[in-house]
Chain A
Amino acid sequence: MIEHGDIKSILPHRHPVLLVDRVLEVRAGGRIVTVKAVSGSEPCYAGLPDDAPAEAYDFPASLLVESFGQSGALLWLHTMRAGDGVPPGTLIFAQARDCVFEGAARPGDVLRHEVRIETLKPNNVFLTGETYVGDRRIASMGSAMAVIRETDSLSPAPASDPTAAAAAVNSMGETA
């Protein structure tokens, strides 16, 4: 189990965009299970008027995907550290396919992500997985790909983890 404070020593994301509360289990090269509690006191709910209907409180899909992606990043980092080491550069979410949103999470729900590595190369990783609230599956991510880009010298790295730093500004352009 990896607690929230320790997650902060692995990922550069900070409040309120660090969307993994706790790692329940992780196996290098295999899968990770993480949880993130959805709370009514998060910024995404701040602007809702008092008469907003219940559906207005559905946790935004974009944040659900981000939470899933951060879980994948933790799995990747754990895997690389257990193997040949973390390569220089930043892990960047490059693409996703066939992500189905079957239900929603609301304040009081706890998201549980199960993320698995499908293929792993020195500079890219394909992930798949699902998100549950209790026994109810609310999303399944067909395939998500992240690539490692060389960190640009312009962008300062956060103190917490020099390799998971601010992105490669210029080198991203070559993929267009």
Chain B
Amino acid sequence: MTASQQAPNAERLEDIREIVTEVLEIEPEELGDTDLFIEDHGADSLRAIEILARLEKKYRVEIPQSELPKMVNLTAVYSVLAEHANWQD
């Protein structure tokens, strides 16, 4: 993985958690950082597409659909986003 290996910015992580849990229709507390969206929270491809679109809209970045398979949990989503948004945490 080429993205930064540094610990995620806590506030950003919580913002992303809020977006993801809104799409998954669960409470933010219910989503562990490494919980798998599909296996642990019953997400399907439509949810994945929606998560990507919402993140693009909020952070004004473009994330190619090809990144979707990597975005399996909150930590991975942060990583992909950091890479495309050029976050220097």
Instruction: State whether the Cβ of A140 lies closer than 8 Å to any Cβ in chain B.
Output: no
Q: A145 touches which one: B50, B57, B65 (CB < 8 A)?
A: B50
Q: A121 touches which one: B46, B57, B65 (CB < 8 A)?
A: B65
Give the size of the chain A interface in residues (CB under 8 angstroms): 14
Summarize A's interface: helix, strand, loop or mixed: strand
Instruction: State whether the Cβ of A174 lies closer than 8 Å to any Cβ in chain B.
Output: yes
Cross-chain contact A124 with B57 (CB below 8 angstroms): no
> Residues 15-51 of chain A: 1 if any B CB is under 8 Å from the residue's CB, otherwise 0?
0000000000000000000000000000000000000
A residues less than 8 Å from B56 (CB atoms) = 119
Measured in the bound complex, the distance between the Cα atoms of B56 and A121 in whole Å is: 11
Instruction: State whether the Cβ of B49 lies closer than 8 Å to any Cβ in chain A.
Output: yes
Count CB-based A-B contacts (< 8 Å): 29
- Contact status of A145 and B49, CB under 8 A, knowing A118-B57, A119-B57, A121-B65: yes
A residues less than 8 Å from B49 (CB atoms) = 121, 124, 145, 147
Cross-chain contact B45 with A145 (CB below 8 angstroms): no
A123 closest partner in B (C-beta): B65
Q: B53 touches which one: A122, A145, A174 (CB < 8 A)?
A: A145
Give the size of the chain B interface in residues (CB under 8 angstroms): 9
Cross-chain contact A95 with B50 (CB below 8 angstroms): yes
Cross-chain contact B45 with A174 (CB below 8 angstroms): yes
Cross-chain contact A118 with B46 (CB below 8 angstroms): no
Give chain A's interface residues, CB within 8 Å of chain B.
Answer: 94-95, 118-119, 121-124, 126, 145, 147, 174-176
**17 further contact pairs, Cβ within 8 A, besides A118-B53, A122-B65, A174-B45:** A94-B46, A95-B46, A95-B50, A118-B57, A119-B56, A121-B53, A123-B65, A126-B50, A126-B53, A145-B46, A145-B49, A145-B50, A145-B53, A147-B46, A175-B44, A175-B45, A176-B44
